[in-house]
């Protein structure tokens, strides 16, 4: 029974990945939106995470209209039609680790998106994204502008100490 349940879950996961691949193969955001609206697309079941995983596993330069497709999954609806089938969900925010991975993969490594586009995608992460762009290299290490980075880290540490005292 346990093995059967595991196989069923794996099959459902593969089907979700196929549904997400349809979105990536679409030539523009309008066809992608219609595909998402007609499918059962959920945040709670991990469909949006599968969407991001496909981006991270592929060459983002080969995905047509990538920026607008990313913006699409942060909106609850598209021209009045619901994208997500969740009853209650917050589609606007994406977790910080995912935004960092998208930045590293799409902006730094492949240069498929610009920093400004990713800031528009995740405006709540603007300050952190600018810090990444200034100090983090293509491998994800903070080796760019090392002296300036040390000064920045000290300033942040001092700020946190001051906040704790208050």
Q: Which two tokens stand for residue 110?
A: 């492949």
Q: Which two tokens stand for residue 56?
A: 């991270």
Indicate the average pLDDT of the chain: 87
- Say if residue 32 is in the same domain as residue 68: yes
Is residue 96 within 8 A of residue 106, CB to CB? The reply is no
Q: What pTM does this model have?
A: 0.81
Among 137, 136, 140, 132, residue whose Cα is nearest residue 56: 140
- Say if residue 60 is in the same domain as residue 130: no
Is residue 52 within 8 A of residue 102, CB to CB? The reply is yes
- Say if residue 5 is in the same domain as residue 77: yes
- Say if residue 5 is in the same domain as residue 70: yes
Buried b (16+ CB within 10 A) or exposed e, 50-70: bbbeebeeeebeebebbbebb
pLDDT tens per residue across span 74-117: 998 899 998 888 877 888 889 999 999 999 999 999 999 999 99
Least confident piece of the model among 2-11, 76-85, 157-166: 2-11
Q: What domain count does the chain have?
A: 2
- Say if residue 73 is in the same domain as residue 125: no
Query: Which residue range(s) make up the domain with 16?
Result: 1-87
């Amino acid at each position: 029974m346990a093995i059967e349940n595991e196989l069923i879950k794996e099959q459902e996961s593969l089907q979700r990945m196929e549904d997400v691949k349809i979105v990536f193969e679409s030539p523009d955001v309008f066809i992608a939106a219609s595909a998402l609206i007609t499918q059962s697309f959920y945040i709670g079941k991990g469909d949006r995470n599968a969407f991001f995983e496909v981006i991270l596993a592929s060459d983002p330069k080969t995905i047509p209209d990538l920026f607008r497709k990313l913006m699409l999954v942060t909106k609850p609806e598209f021209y009045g039609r619901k994208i997500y089938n969740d009853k209650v969900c917050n589609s606007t925010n994406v977790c910080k680790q995912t935004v960092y991975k998208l930045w590293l993969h799409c902006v730094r490594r492949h240069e498929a998106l610009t920093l400004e586009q990713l800031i528009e995608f995740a405006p709540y992460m603007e300050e952190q994204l600018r810090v990444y762009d200034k100090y983090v290299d293509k491998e994800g290490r903070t080796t760019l502008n090392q002296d300036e980075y040390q000064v920045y880290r000290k300033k942040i540490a001092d700020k946190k100490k001051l906040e704790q005292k208050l």
